[in-house]
A = this chain, B = another copy of it.
């Protein structure tokens, strides 16, 4: 097996309504069944008229751009300064929703194709009508966390699976393979970029020799590459997630958990706040066993489902300001417990006491 990566030269400026299949087939009469076409998303967007008019410069341009970005955004993932990393309505996570101002008039912005998989299927079908059985990848340039530099990846694909699955394969040593699913269409998109360059002189590359293309169905598309945010360990930017943690602390819900808290976690939480609470304030973890042993009796309103508690004692003598500070320190402890995954609730103080309180955990 060997692959060739060939540029499709002579594709001029693409404008709305252009027949991309005709443009490409005319520029590359040498296309063959089984070829993989890597098509820059921008010419697909242009042919599909995915352009918006904006002022050429000034604050008006920025305002118009923000409005367009909001329209393309399903949710904001992270932002810093002028940078906006968002999830698009397709599910792609990209800077500025993939909106591009290069290779287009200064008064227009190019949006991503509305449905890149559908665009790939349509282009493939149109080439089929010209008796060409090829796979089509719609590609765009994306950044990524942790690594500098961008790479081209697939927004849409038709005519081959997006992922090559090695599940169940056994290596020569008899081990089942660990890294089983390769995003081959992303690797093909990147391979195409190597000869396309960035100035769109060459918006289409052809990868020749990749097996299994001729005779294949459209496949499930690049949609298969989109990971659900709930399954993603990086669904939010670090600063955004940290702020979410602070907001969560501010609105911490009451209620001990259904199961006994890990004593080590409770001790870590108590240790975490020891330095910041009022000098002399003491927190003590009381375990289930001790609760059942009778300590519970000292805490009116103790809920049946309680699985333990933390007793807090403020330094005496106590004046009103000390009690306010004590309450703040109890809330600090509740937050530290939450950070350890231990829900809690502030209980009414034991009768007759003004300097102590209890958290149900």
Residues of A within 8 A of B (CB): 1-7, 13, 78, 80, 83, 85, 92-93, 100-106, 141, 144-153, 162-163, 166, 169, 171-179, 181-184, 186-188, 190-191, 193-195, 198-201, 210, 224-227, 232-253, 269, 272-273, 275-276, 318, 320-321, 323-336, 338-339, 346, 348-349, 354, 357
Contacts and interface: CB of A to CB of B under 8 A. Distances in A.
A237 B245 contact: no
Given A244-B245, A330-B328, A346-B325, A4 B2 contact: yes
Contacts of A349: 320-321, 324
Nearest to A229: B146
Given A244-B242, A250-B336, A354 B320 contact: yes
A169 B346 contact: no
Given A100-B178, A320-B323, 5 more contacts: A80-B233, A149-B186, A250-B273, A320-B354, A321-B349
A151 B187 contact: yes
B251 A272 contact: yes
Task: State the 7 A-B residue pairs at the shortest beta-carbon distance, nearest first.
Answer: A245-B245, A327-B327, A149-B183, A249-B249, A187-B190, A241-B241, A246-B339
Given A198-B166, A235-B238, A182 B149 contact: yes
A199 B175 CA distance: 10
Nearest to A253: B276
A249 B188 CA distance: 46
A194 B186 CA distance: 10
B250 A339 contact: yes
A251 B332 contact: yes
A141 B244 contact: no
Nearest to A244: B242
A148 B227 contact: yes
Given A187-B151, A327-B323, A200 B171 contact: yes
A321 B326 CA distance: 11
A232 B148 CA distance: 10
Contact of A103 (B145, B172, B210, B324): B172
Contacts of A2: 4-7, 195
Nearest to A273: B250
Given A275-B251, A320-B349, A349-B321, A198 B173 contact: no
Contact of A250 (B83, B182, B247, B332): B332
A150 B179 contact: yes
Contact of A328 (B149, B275, B327): B327
Contact of A233 (B1, B145, B198): B145
Contacts of A242: 241-242, 244-245, 248
Nearest to A332: B250
Contact of A198 (B179, B198, B201, B336): B179
18 contacts: A13-B172, A102-B176, A103-B171, A103-B173, A106-B175, A149-B225, A151-B190, A166-B198, A184-B194, A188-B194, A246-B249, A246-B338, A247-B335, A250-B269, A253-B276, A321-B349, A323-B327, A328-B334
